[in-house]
Structure 1
Amino acid sequence: MEARHSALCAEEAEDAVKELRAELAKAGIILPSLGLDPVSLVREAPCPLVESVRRSPGTARRLAAVRR
């Protein structure tokens, strides 16, 4: 059961990354660091987090504008 849960979590996280990447691209925003958090992948029962760090202040402002 735990392995199935982990597989579903990983699939959901990968889908979320693809969806977010596509929506940001529509707004002209590309985040090269957008992906799955490697630390959360190595847990005994992985349920990965989405990571999107290391962006410039300009990109952060553009993300905030999209959010508004």
Structure 2
Amino acid sequence: MPLTPVEPVRDEAQEIVQQLKAALAAHGIVLPSLNVDLPSFAHLTGEALIELGRVNQETARALIALATREGPRT
């Protein structure tokens, strides 16, 4: 697998994290550990992982409610 420059991958991953934080915040959901998984950059495969982290039961229920609402899927 060819190596990929880190900066564009990192920048895209950080933008995704910010968009996800904003989308969840609009529903009153905060994932304190939501961030880019820095060790995933070590592989330089062209894709970074997003760390969602651990949440309490209340947040998990809020995520379930949001994820099971009827609406468009992309």
TM-score, normalised with respect to structure 2: 0.75
Partner of 2:57: 57
Partner of 1:2: 4
Which structure carries more helix by proportion? 1
Bigger-Rg structure (1/2): 2
Secondary structure at 2:65's aligned position in 1? helix
- The 5-angstrom pairing of residues 1-68 of structure 1 reads 2-3=4-5, 6-41=6-41, 43-45=42-44, 47-68=47-68
Secondary structure at 1:28's aligned position in 2? coil
* Counterparts of 2:43 and 2:37, CA distance in 1: 15
Unpaired segments ≥5 residues, structure 2: 69-74
* Counterparts of 2:43 and 2:52, CA distance in 1: 23
Alpha-carbon RMSD across the aligned residues, in angstroms, is 1.7
Unpaired segments ≥5 residues, structure 1: none
- The aligned length equals 65
Amino acid aligned to 1:2: T
